[in-house]
Amino acid sequence: MIASDLNSFYSEMGIDPKLAELGYKIEEDLKDRFRAIDKTAEYNQLKILKAMQDNRVSDVHFAATTGYGYNDIGRDTLERVYADVFHAEDALVRPQLISGTHALTVALFGNLKPGDELLSPVGKPYDTLEGVIGIKKTRGSLAEYGITYKQVDLLPDGSIDYDGIRKAIGPKTRMVTIQRSKGYADRPTLSVEQIGELISFMKDIKPDLVCMVDNCYGEFVETIEPTDFGADLCVGSLIKNPGGGLAPIGGYITGKTEYVDNAACRLTAPGLGKEVGATLGLNQSLYQGLFLAPQVVSGALKGAIFAARLYENFGFSVRPGSFDDRYDIIQAVTLGSKEAVIAFCEGIQAAAPVDSFVAPVPWAMPGYNCDVIMAAGAFVQGSSIELSADAPIKPPYTVFFQGGLTWHHAKYGILKSLQRLYEKGLVSL
Ligand SMILES: *Cc1c(COP(=O)(O)O)cnc(C)c1O
């Protein structure tokens, strides 16, 4: 299609020609960064392809099992593929892991016993883990089982407080949870290399620590994963990066055999472990999603950088900046007003392939101390590898957005968000 046709299509899809033009210019500015992202995807594509070939993946692995799921060779082979991709000893990859929070919960409960202490050396973990750990009094939390928790916050400049960590590690410290992505917090995302340094520092102090990394939103952003740098366990959600948009449900736990087995005995039952768990016909989506994941993640990353650049252009503060190093797919844009946050989310929603006709509105979500607005028009409910945005309605009015199954959809969504700000008189083109 020639450029003028593309322009008129953007126009038909509600994008002002001046904005479409700015979009092309920004793509040009980001050419080198996009090339680097493509190289990472190329490497990760080969890594996954090799793991599939080495494990002789075949169409018999896509057959459905039911009931107990004994001898589900598709499931077992997929777990070998994950283990190889992460250069780990073993993996648990299951549709019965119903979310990232659940996968992390299973890894924690499987590897901690009463009297043990869990340490977070990088500050407060993801919101949903507060209940799991019992930071917030919650039924069934680790705290209720006599498992204590310590936290060492990052230093004001975002760096790791090594002195504080040295002091926090005691005789009871058994397990460490390290969150790679900033999630929706105001802190930098950690690189795999930084995580590796942190793990080796802690293991020098106490060699038998079980170091777990919450890898959500980080998979395939780099060519290395935390398991390449000393993590004993690496955990994530299949409706984020590694599911490639095709996995309809699931989570993974990969790492040392002993710790993966401990988690499996918690997920199913002691004595059953990894031997059971039917896959009900989902295997093909999990394989195919993993196969597509490097490409999908590259599109999401391009979208994040494009958004950073576009919004920088209009004077908004963005994190990370468009030329900063990037270790996850999340982009924060501080819009400064409630109206702008709502307009942004309306634009993302209007750009969706599913539910584009609904308007997102702020509401009082349980667990938040203010109204929250969410934009998502996803094929898989709640999938945040698909283009999605959410924001708490409170100062400084920052919206967090992520995903995009394809780069071109991410680009359109971001243009549409800015278009909506323009239509509401909040920016001028
Ligand atoms: C998404 C996320 C989780 C939890 O995953 P859910 O699937 O939403 O339960 C945990 N940690 C981080 C950093 C995340 O981004």
Judge whether residue 368 has pLDDT over 80.
no
2: exposed, middle or buried (C-beta count within 10 Å: 0-12, 13-18, 19+)? exposed
- Do the Cβ atoms of 372 and 127 come closer than 8 Å? no
Does the structure show a pLDDT above 90 at 257?
yes
Token pair listed for 375: 């934009």
Task: Show Cβ contacts of residue 88 under 8 Å, excluding neighbours closer than 6 positions.
Answer: 82, 227, 234, 254, 255, 256, 260
* 22 phi and psi angles, rounded to 5 deg: -60, -40
Which of 94, 96, 101 should be mutated for ligand 1, with most atoms under 8 A from CB? Answer: 101
173 pLDDT above the threshold of 60: yes
CA nearest ligand 1 atom 7, residue = 100
The closest residue, in CA terms, to atom 3 on ligand 1 is 100
Is the N-terminal amide bond of 320 cis, ω within 30° of 0?
A: yes
Residues 409 and 387 sit within 8 Å (Cβ to Cβ)? yes
| Residue 126 Cα to ligand 1 middle (Å) | 7
Phi, psi of 122 (to 5 degrees): -125, 35
The fold adopted by the segment(s) 64-281 is Aspartate Aminotransferase; domain 2 (3.40.640)
Average pLDDT of the residues of the chain: 96
Fold equal for 2-44+291-423 and 64-281: no
Residue 125: is its pLDDT beyond 90?
Answer: yes
Q: Say how far apart CA 217 and CA 187 lie, in whole Å.
A: 15
Of 339, 342, 332, 330, whose CA–CA distance to 311 is shortest? 332
CA atoms within a 13 Å half-sphere pointing along the CA-CB vector of 359: 6
Q: How far apart are CA 142 and CA 153, in angstroms?
A: 20
Close Cβ partners of 165 (under 8 Å, ≥ 6 residues apart): 119, 121, 152, 198, 201, 202
Name the CATH topology of 2-44+291-423: Aspartate Aminotransferase, domain 1 (3.90.1150)
Residue extents of the structural domains in the chain: 2-44+291-423, 64-281
Mean pLDDT within 106-129? 97
Could you give the 3-state DSSP secondary structure of residue 425?
coil
Kindly report the length of the chain.
Answer: 429
Atom of ligand 1 nearest to the CA of 382: 8
Whether 216 has a pLDDT exceeding 90, the answer reads: yes
What pTM does this model have? 0.96
Ligand 1 atom having least distance to the Cα of 180:
13
pLDDT at 3: 55
Q: Which of 180, 216, 329, 385 to mutate to test the pocket of ligand 1 (most atoms within 8 A of CB)?
A: 216
DSSP string, 171-229: TTEEEEEEE-S-TTSSSPPPPHHHHHHHHHHHHHH-TT-EEEEE-TTTTTTSS--GGGG
Order the strands of the 398-402 sheet from edge to edge: 317-319, 331-334, 398-402, 388-392, 372-376
- Which tops the pLDDT comparison, 40 or 365? 40
Residue 168 has pLDDT above 60, yes or no: yes
Pocket perturbation via mutation, ligand 1, pick of 94, 96, 126 by most ligand atoms within 8 A of CB: 126
Per the listing, tokens 């680790």 go with 142
Q: Is 70 exceeded by the pLDDT of residue 1?
A: no
Mean pLDDT of 153-166: 96
Supply the pLDDT for residue 4: 65
pLDDT at 352: 97
Q: How far is the CA of 236 from the centre of ligand 1 (A)?
A: 7
Cα 291 from chain centroid (whole Å) = 17
Q: Report the nearest atom of ligand 1 relative to the CA of 181.
A: 13
Q: What is the pLDDT of residues 290-347, one digit of tens each?
A: 999 999 999 999 999 999 999 999 999 999 999 999 999 999 999 999 999 999 999 9
pLDDT digits (tens, 9 = 90+) for 66-114: 999 999 999 999 999 999 999 999 999 999 999 999 999 999 999 999 9
Percentage, residues of the chain above pLDDT 70: 99
The H or E element spanning position 19 is: helix 17-29
Closest C-alpha residue for ligand 1 atom 12:
216
Q: Examine the pLDDT at 201 and tell me if it is beyond 90.
A: yes
DSSP state at residue 350: H
The confidence score (pLDDT) of residue 2 equals 52
Using CB distances shorter than 6 Å, the residues near ligand 1 are: 99-101, 126, 128, 179, 181, 183, 214, 216-217, 237
Q: pLDDT at position 367, please?
A: 66
